[in-house]
Amino acid sequence: NAGVTQTPKFRVLKTGQSMTLLCAQDMNHEYMYWYRQDPGMGLRLIHYSVGEGTTAKGEVPDGYNVSRLKKQNFLLGLESAAPSQTSVYFCASSYPGTGEYYGYTFGSGTRLTVV
């Protein structure tokens, strides 16, 4: 089925460990996004990409890095995990559009706990 696939779905890390979250989409979308969801704060944009080989900072980028070497993949890295990064992470993708509606497709989320 076409869509956005996130791996892993759950992960527990110790403080200081590193990990990479993978997002893969098969819809040929140009734009990809990483969000984090925390209680009472909605979804906040971490980083985004407007095309292969490009990345940009969102609202809460500190402590995260991203890469988009292939159009279909968008990786989110935590170099040294901190308890404050305990959250649910969502990947999304879309086409850019002006004056037309292009939907966003979301992955199923990754629940990350840093202890």
Partner 1 sequence: AQTVTQSQPEMSVQEAETVTLSCTYDTSESDYYLFWYKQPPSRQMILVIRQEAYKQQNATENRFSVNFQKAAKSFSLKISDSQLGDAAMYFCAYRGWIQGAQKLVFGQGTRLTINP
Residues of the shown chain interacting with partner 1 in the complex, contacts defined by CB under 8 A: 31, 33, 35, 40-45, 48, 50, 56, 58, 88, 90, 92, 94, 96-99, 101, 103-104, 106, 108-109, 111
> In angstroms, what is the minimal distance from the CB of 96 to partner 1?
5
Which lies closer to partner 1 via its Cβ, residue 16 or residue 97? 97
- With tokens 């944009």, the residue in question is 45
> In angstroms, what is the minimal distance from the CB of 92 to partner 1?
7
> In angstroms, what is the minimal distance from the CB of 26 to partner 1?
18
The number of angstroms, rounded, from the C-alpha of 4 to the middle of its chain's C-alpha atoms is 11
> Which residues, other chains included, contact 43 with Cβ-Cβ below 8 Å and sequence gap of 6+?
35, 36, 37, 90
